[in-house]
Amino acid sequence: LRAAETLREQGFTGSLTMIGDEPYEPYDRPPLSKQALLGRARPEDTALPRRRDIDAEWCLGVAAESLDRAAKQVRLANGDTVPYDRLLITTGTRARPWFHPEEAALDGVFGLRTRDDSARLRRKLTGGVSRVLVIGAGFTGSEVASACRELGLQVTVAERGPAPLVGALGGVIGAVADRLQRKHGVDLRCGVSVTALEGDDVGRLRRAHLSDGSAIDVDVAVVSLGAMRNTEWLAGSGVAAGPRGIACDAGCRVFDVNGIVTDDIYAVGDVARSPHPLFDYQFLALEHWGNAVEQAEIAAHNMLCAGPDRRPHLWLPMFWSTQFGV
C-alpha cells in the first residue's frame, strides 16, 4: 500500500494492480498481538489508513502462483495472468508452524500472523480457558504472554535460549526481559524446548511435554517460533529467492539466480534482504514495520526513475514492541 501510494504521489499515471492472497485490504499487524488480543481494537478495524487514493485494480483473495520473467507476467492461482512493466514483490512472511502436523491440528494450538489468527486466538483466550503455554519468547511470544497476563490467565513461556528476546536483543536486555516476565507472574522456563503436544480423545490440547522431562497441563498453546519467508511461489522463476528471502540491491532491485541485478523486479519488506553499508554490506532481512514502510517508498521512487536519481535503502534497523506495560 505504501509503495502504491508513493507511485501515485510521484506522478505515476499508468495502470496499477494490487495482488493479495488474503481477502482483506492491507491492514496493520502490530496490534494483532497487543490491542486486538486485549479487546481494545477489533482485528477487523486494523485496516491501514490511506494517505491518498491509489486508483488500483485489486485482486484480493487470490495468490500469485508463478512469475514468468521472459513474458513479464505473474500467474495467479485462479489461472489469470497479470502483465507488468515493473513488478514489486512484498509477499512477507508467515508464522513458522508447529513441526508435528497432527499435534498442530489439535484444538487449542494457535499461530499468530494474520487478522483471522488474532480473532481466533482472542475468542479462545476469552472463552473460559485458564492455562496457556507460549512456545518461544521472541517478540510475538512475549507480547502474547503479556496479553494473557493482562487477561488474568496463567501463562507458561517455554524458550530454548537463555532468556526472552535474546536472539534479537542479546543477553543484557534479555535479562531485563526475563525479570519483567517473572515480575508479571509468567511461569518462564528458559533453556528448554517443548518436545510434544498431547491431546485428549476428542482432539483437544491437554498437555505439553518439555525437554527437561516435565509436563504441564494446558488448554492453549501459542506457537511463536518466528517466521518463514513467502518465496516458494518464485521457484523456477530465475530470481534469487529462497528460505532466507529475496536478494536485492540497496535500491530494492531483485537479483537473478546468477547474481545479476534485474531492472524491472523489486522486492521490499519482510521478504527482502539487501546489503547494508553500516554492516559491511551484509545482506540484512529486517522483519519490522518501519523498515517495510520506508523500503516501499524507496522502491516506488526507484521504479519510476532512471539510474542516477535512484536512492538506496539505508535504514537504521529499529523497531518497537509493547510488553508488560513497557
Which residues contact ligand FAD (rule: CB under 6 A)? 19-22, 29-30, 32-33, 63-64, 90-93, 112-113, 140, 230, 233, 269-271, 287-290, 292, 319-321
Please give the helix or strand (H or E) that residue 245 lies within, else none: strand 245-247
Cell readout for 20 is: 493479495
Return left, alpha or beta for 252; rule: phi > 0 is left, psi -120 to 50 is alpha, else beta.
Answer: left
Tell me how far, at minimum, the Cβ of 19 lies from ligand FAD, in Å. Answer: 5
Count of all residues that appear for the chain in the document: 326
Tell me how far, at minimum, the Cβ of 187 lies from ligand FAD, in Å. Answer: 22
The C-alpha atoms of residue 66 and residue 205 are separated, in whole angstroms, by 37
Taking the least distance from each CB to ligand FAD, the nearer of 16 and 210 is 16
Tell me how far, at minimum, the Cβ of 224 lies from ligand FAD, in Å. Answer: 9
Residues with Cβ within 8 Å of 178's Cβ and at least 6 positions away in sequence, in order, are 163, 164, 188, 190
Residue for grid cell 532466507 = 244
Taking the least distance from each CB to ligand FAD, the nearer of 254 and 271 is 271
Taking the least distance from each CB to ligand FAD, the nearer of 25 and 264 is 25
The DSSP line for 130-155 is -EEEEE--SHHHHHHHHHHHHTT-EE
Tell me how far, at minimum, the Cβ of 202 lies from ligand FAD, in Å. Answer: 29
Distance of CA 46 to the CA centre of its chain: 15
The C-alpha atoms of residue 256 and residue 266 are separated, in whole angstroms, by 11
The answer to whether the CB of 104 falls within 8 A of the CB of 98 is yes
Tell me how far, at minimum, the Cβ of 16 lies from ligand FAD, in Å. Answer: 15
Tell me how far, at minimum, the Cβ of 29 lies from ligand FAD, in Å. Answer: 3
Taking the least distance from each CB to ligand FAD, the nearer of 196 and 235 is 235
The C-alpha atoms of residue 127 and residue 288 are separated, in whole angstroms, by 31
Tell me how far, at minimum, the Cβ of 322 lies from ligand FAD, in Å. Answer: 7
The C-alpha atoms of residue 15 and residue 98 are separated, in whole angstroms, by 41
Sort strands 241-242 and 245-247 into parallel, antiparallel or unpaired. antiparallel
Tell me how far, at minimum, the Cβ of 34 lies from ligand FAD, in Å. Answer: 7
Residue for grid cell 490467565 = 153
Taking the least distance from each CB to ligand FAD, the nearer of 198 and 249 is 249
Taking the least distance from each CB to ligand FAD, the nearer of 111 and 216 is 111
Taking the least distance from each CB to ligand FAD, the nearer of 129 and 168 is 168
Taking the least distance from each CB to ligand FAD, the nearer of 75 and 160 is 75
**What is the CB-side half-sphere exposure of residue 198 using CA atoms within 13 A?**
10
Amino acid at 157: V
